[in-house]
Amino acid sequence: EIVLTQSPATLSLSPGERATLSCGASQSVTYLAWYQQKPGLAPRLLIYDASSRATGIPDRFSGSGSGTDFTLTISRVEPEDFAVYYCQQYGSSPLTFGGGTKVEIK
């Protein structure tokens, strides 16, 4: 099983600041996705194949990385971006998720 470790656990930012979220894998990952989850809602797909934005996702969200190190960047955090973000690897069973990074208002 591929273990994904996200850092930091919590990121405190002011609107307009840049957010950099990290996801590290215990072994090389075939495919990586990022999801956003707000309280009481299901996760929403943001990024797939490490760097491709899902339909309707603003271009302030970008993903990068390969192998075992991946990054989600929000260029300028908007008020609606405060949420928990999860990375997920796919292509290797079982599917696994990182523990999440909470982006909170500073």
Give one DSSP letter per residue of 71-97, joined into a string: EEEESS--GGG-EEEEEEEESSSSPEE
Q: Measure the CA–CA gap between 44 and 35, rounded to whole angstroms.
A: 5
Q: Is residue 9 part of the contact set for other proteins (CB under 8 A)?
A: no
Buried b (16+ CB within 10 A) or exposed e, 8-36: eeebebeeeeebebbbbbeeebeebbbbb
Between 17 and 96, CB nearer to other proteins: 96
Residue 24 contacts other proteins per CB under 8 A: no
User: CB of residue 50 vs other proteins: minimum separation in angstroms?
Assistant: 11
| Site for other proteins contains 22 (CB under 8 A) | no
Is 97 a binder of other proteins (CB under 8 A)? yes
Give the shortest CB-5-to-other proteins separation in angstroms.
11
Question: Among residues 95, 104, 105, 106, which is the contact residue for other proteins, using CB under 8 A?
Answer: 95
d(CA 106, CA 92): 37
Which of the residues 50 through 69 are near other proteins (CB under 8 A)?
54
The site for other proteins, by CB under 8 A, has a size of: 25
